[in-house]
Amino acid sequence: MSNIYKSYDIDQVQNLLSQFLISNWSYSKVSAFTRNQKAFEMTYIFGIYPRKSATSVAGQAYHHALEYFFTTLKNTGNVLDLVELEQSAFTYIDEIPANYWKLSVTMPTVDDCIVKATKTVSALLRNFLGELDEYLADIQEILEVEYQVSAWLTINGVDIPMPCNMKIDLVVRTKSGKIAIVDHKSKSSFTDDKVIALGIGPQAITYALGYEEQTGQKVDEVWFIENKYSQNKNNSKQVVKSPIELDSNTRAIYESLLYESLKTMIEAVNNPDHIYTINQMDNLTDMAELYDFWARTMICEVDEFNVEESKRDLIAKRLKKVRDASIETIPPTVIRAFKENAASFIQYDLSNKNMTNSQKIEHVLRSFGTIVNVAHELSGYSSNTFLLEFSAGVKIASIYSKRLDIANALNVANVRISNELIPYQGKSYLGVEYAKNREEDLLFDPAELNGFKIPLGKDNFRNTVHWNLENHSTPHMLVCGATGSGKSVFITSIIEYAKLAQIDQIVIFDPKYEFTKYHDQVTIFVYNEIEEIEEQMCNLVLEMESLVRNRQHKKSLIIFDEYADAVDNSRKGNDLNVYDNVVIGEYKDGRPKTKREVVKELKSLEENLKLLAQKGRSSGFRIVIAMQRASVKVITGDIKVNFPIQVCFKVPKEVDSKVVIDEGGAESLAGYGDGLIKSPEYGNKIIRFQAFYKPDGTATKRVATNQDMYLEIEE
């Protein structure tokens, strides 16, 4: 039987779903609604997901590793070993943001949670590989891994008026030719057989109906395979498979059980006035978090919740009704007091405390025995800086080790702590920075230009960061940043300021065609193809050598974007040789005897850049090389010596930041021009800054007037 809503067009579907507080259903949502309606409302309507315990994260990492295992087995037939699976799981755990973890008395720090999750997932993976036959003994073929389903279903003969979304862990064909869905479960203790017989049946039928609707293939069985991470004392099996056969009778029972709960949930989310009750006996939900949410719904606007955009108006109306009703019966001051009281029971969760960010930093460090005082809070464009002062007995290393705990207190993913003390108003402080949503742009301003000091941006002290083109100790700049980090906008700003400074010539090597707006402008030359880039680099070296010989000076700015990719695509080895037929004698009849020999060896792109960087600064050459990938093969020791100014915008990993600026931190930047710079002009300290931004995106060019003056005009 086909669901009638499957035939609806897009407009009809949107009109249908606009009646509900949620846009789709799943077994997880039905189960959550049945267990605790208020927790369901908090998570699936208001988008407030509770923090995860270490064991919950371990279970997610276990699923991640098993996805890697079965994908590899399906595609190559190879069986991954424990080390490979652990690496996959550990990487997953390492990428969990600090504010995602649920802290408690037994797990008071993020580090404690990471250690617990790591040990737990290691135990799960050892069990999995040790008892792999529980999975593979009856599998003939792997059909799907982590299969996404979005389907309109008919349950118990009733068309459900919203799509069902799910992700199926594994679909296999058994050796007897049956199709089986496999669900991985990590457990602290095995589920009782009676619960499996009936309690898990609705989950099994949900998976089966979804897969059948989307693929047209009938599901015969659903396997729930539980892996118990706590060690059995009697050395019994740690991995147990519980298969559920889906014949006509069990299907009817399971559909009936599922429909009762699903129908109740659908009716609730279709009624904006439905009251979601709290189940006080629910031991899977943090009651302090739940009561805090309940209080927030009475005093907060919809903007303070992470609601789905399409449901915003509907939920805003619901919130207004809740607030109006609560204010009539309970004064707002009582609600706020209740909220603070509920928050006090949420272990170490400072995001729910009525504290400033400075107080949160002081509090979380004090809880570890480190007494500090936040002396100053500085507001930058993309980040804020806290300046910490501390007594002589405090070990600074102890503060570095609590970086994630500070991030957790501030409810951000990460913080950066400076490797050196920061002088400010006659004292030295330790700087703690965190990225924030930018409230204002740092706009390109010609007034910031001072001679040949090119403005790069402003730090969190609102001081302008410059690149002095006349300083021979800072002739060249290295720039690195991933897509979206603001690298191209930063380079555009440098070009625009260089034009205003009346640089004699600007040469742009642009293999990815990002600066084509500068084609055909006075004093600016743009080259895109690798062949012309190589040729022009050779010409620049010849020009530089001529200037050096004649003791002449010419202000030239070389911009080389995507340098790493250009090096990869440039000629190397024998491709750089120039061959010719050289006469080596005569034949008997007098004809010349020739041989093809190398008559000239051209220099590679890297060699020419090195020559230009080393010898060109005295004759006025200044170079910026930029790249997305922080590759140690490209950013060599020679490059870093010859390019003493190093700028790093947001990069994927800490190791990328270390390759560019010799320390981590760039992985925690906000993007969009939020950068770190290391320059001899600033004592080789790492300075965080916001790059200038030219919002109109148009290029300017200098036009000579009759009085030999220059005017800037927009193109």
654 secondary structure, DSSP code = H
Q: Minimum mean pLDDT among 298-302, 608-612, 707-711: which range?
A: 707-711
**Token pair 């994630």 is at which residue?**
404
Amino acid 417: pLDDT: 92
- Residues 257 and 303 placed together within one structural domain of the fold: no
User: 153 in a domain, yes or no?
Assistant: yes
> In this model, does residue 354 exceed pLDDT 90?
no
> In this model, does residue 594 exceed pLDDT 80?
no
**What pLDDT band is residue 696 in, cutting at 50, 70 and 90?**
low
**What pLDDT band is residue 601 in, cutting at 50, 70 and 90?**
confident
Which one is predicted more confidently, 234 or 415? 415
Please report, rounded to a whole number, the percentage of residues in the chain having pLDDT higher than 90: 60
> In this model, does residue 294 exceed pLDDT 90?
no
User: 338 in a domain, yes or no?
Assistant: yes
> In this model, does residue 480 exceed pLDDT 80?
yes
User: 462 in a domain, yes or no?
Assistant: yes
User: 297 in a domain, yes or no?
Assistant: yes
Task: Give alpha helix (H) positions in 200-311.
Answer: 201-215, 248-269, 287-299
Amino acid 364: pLDDT: 85
Measuring CA to CA, how many Å separate 296 from each of 42, 242, 289?
Answer: 10, 42, 11
- Residues 42 and 189 placed together within one structural domain of the fold: yes
Q: Which helix (H) or strand (E) holds 243?
A: strand 239-245
User: Average of pLDDT values for 178-196?
Assistant: 85
User: Average of pLDDT values for 568-572?
Assistant: 88
User: Average of pLDDT values for 156-181?
Assistant: 96
User: 582 in a domain, yes or no?
Assistant: no
Q: Please provide the average confidence, as pLDDT, over all residues in the chain.
A: 88
**What pLDDT band is residue 329 in, cutting at 50, 70 and 90?**
low
- Residues 247 and 151 placed together within one structural domain of the fold: yes
Amino acid 194: pLDDT: 65
- Residues 496 and 552 placed together within one structural domain of the fold: yes
Which of 435, 465, 483 is the last residue before a domain boundary? Answer: 435
Rounded Cα–Cα distance for residues 20 and 369 (Å): 50
User: Average of pLDDT values for 538-553?
Assistant: 93
Q: Which two tokens stand for residue 187?
A: 């457990």
Beta strands 476-480 and 645-648, pairing class: parallel
> In this model, does residue 196 exceed pLDDT 70?
no
> In this model, does residue 143 exceed pLDDT 90?
yes
> In this model, does residue 327 exceed pLDDT 70?
no
Q: Minimum mean pLDDT among 44-58, 257-271, 688-702: which range?
A: 688-702
Contact 463, 450 (CB under 8 A): no
Q: How many secondary structure helices (H) and strands (E) does the chain include?
A: 22, 26
Q: Minimum mean pLDDT among 180-184, 448-452, 575-579: which range?
A: 575-579
- Residue 62: closest CA among 32, 82, 77, 76: 82
> In this model, does residue 350 exceed pLDDT 70?
no
Radius of gyration of the chain (CA): 32
> In this model, does residue 388 exceed pLDDT 90?
yes
User: Average of pLDDT values for 407-435?
Assistant: 90
Which of 308, 343, 378 is the last residue before a domain boundary? Answer: 343
**What pLDDT band is residue 579 in, cutting at 50, 70 and 90?**
low
> In this model, does residue 554 exceed pLDDT 80?
yes
User: Average of pLDDT values for 357-383?
Assistant: 87
**What pLDDT band is residue 25 in, cutting at 50, 70 and 90?**
very high
Rounded Cα–Cα distance for residues 623 and 608 (Å): 12
- Residue 142: closest CA among 200, 77, 187, 215: 77
- Residues 254 and 397 placed together within one structural domain of the fold: no
User: 166 in a domain, yes or no?
Assistant: yes
- Residues 420 and 462 placed together within one structural domain of the fold: no
User: 395 in a domain, yes or no?
Assistant: yes
pTM: predicted TM-score of the whole model, two decimal places = 0.66
Helix, strand or coil for residue 456? strand
CB atoms within 10 A of CB 349: 22
- Residue 510: closest CA among 493, 528, 496: 528
User: Average of pLDDT values for 238-246?
Assistant: 93
- Residues 319 and 371 placed together within one structural domain of the fold: no
The amino acid that residue 652 corresponds to is: P
Rounded Cα–Cα distance for residues 501 and 386 (Å): 36
Which one is predicted more confidently, 292 or 326? 292
- Residues 264 and 406 placed together within one structural domain of the fold: no
Amino acid 6: pLDDT: 93
Distant-in-sequence contacts of 73-82, Cβ < 8 A, 24+ apart: 73/142, 74/142, 74/145, 79/132, 81/129, 82/125, 82/126, 82/129
> In this model, does residue 392 exceed pLDDT 90?
no
> In this model, does residue 394 exceed pLDDT 70?
yes
Beta strands 221-228 and 239-245, pairing class: antiparallel
User: 607 in a domain, yes or no?
Assistant: no
Amino acid 698: pLDDT: 45
Instruction: State the total domains in the chain.
Output: 4
Which of 322, 343, 364 is the last residue before a domain boundary? Answer: 343
User: Average of pLDDT values for 333-359?
Assistant: 65
CATH number at residue 388: 3.30.980.40
Q: Minimum mean pLDDT among 9-18, 170-179, 209-218, 511-520: which range?
A: 511-520
Q: Which two tokens stand for residue 208?
A: 């089966």
- Residues 31 and 143 placed together within one structural domain of the fold: yes
- Residues 364 and 468 placed together within one structural domain of the fold: no
- Residues 239 and 300 placed together within one structural domain of the fold: no
- Residues 455 and 319 placed together within one structural domain of the fold: no
User: Average of pLDDT values for 269-294?
Assistant: 88
What is the per-residue pLDDT across 701-711, written as a single tens digit (0 to 9) for each?
443 333 333 33
Amino acid 714: pLDDT: 38
Q: Minimum mean pLDDT among 195-204, 418-427, 477-486, 556-565: which range?
A: 195-204
Q: Minimum mean pLDDT among 39-43, 163-167, 192-196, 278-282: which range?
A: 192-196
Domain residue limits at 462: 451-567+616-714
